[in-house]
Structure 1
């Protein structure tokens, strides 16, 4: 029974992490006029979407339903982005915010892997793919600083 709890908990963490990335990018993409930067953000958003769908499918295969981010978490993120971009929508500022978010996402992935050691191997691989993607995103975003 413990494995199922760890497994569902890890998959739910993937759903929440990818929703955070997807929702953040949905809010930030329209703020930039930089075509190279926008292309990178759209690429990242597509990958978050793919990973999110995979996690949803895995949860459904376990006979459960993903909860995703709470309405409060979504609102809190939206307001935080609005405040940080109120006076500065420069590519540098947006890239810095996203890079910090990717770093936080990586830390969340690492903590999750330690918190749910009995998750299924497929779930662990999905979490590792998310972590690798976020590390790669952080490096790619640094070129826009």
Structure 2
């Protein structure tokens, strides 16, 4: 086989290989990664906002879930505006789904959520493209929340 041709990427089941897929995606972009027993978190800077996005990947019984947050905690007087921003984003974009997390807790924040069924099968390049799209949309989402809604 000529050097210019490469072998096709293997198709991997998300439920079995999610950590490998996430870590390879992050390594290819030089994102800071932290893994624990339940999750893999990756961080990257939002240069135009001076904030850092964190994407935390974890699984439920049926899903690979990616939670995205910008590390900014909301004041209680910002909750109504944050809910309006979430509603506007979700009506227009749908993905990632934006919501206000921990509303009754001491440190509510905005978070985006994306997911895939664990039974999904995907190649590394396809996973990379999908998750990169999630991250780009999350960048847009948090930039809009910061610029338009002052969150």
TM-score greater than 0.5 by the shorter chain: no
Q: Tell me which protein shows more helix as a share of its residues.
A: 1
Q: TM-score range by the shorter chain?
A: 0.3 to 0.5
Structure of greater Rg:
2
TM-score normalised according to structure 2 size: 0.34
Higher relative contact order (CA 8 A, sep 6+): 1
TM-score normalised according to structure 1 size: 0.35
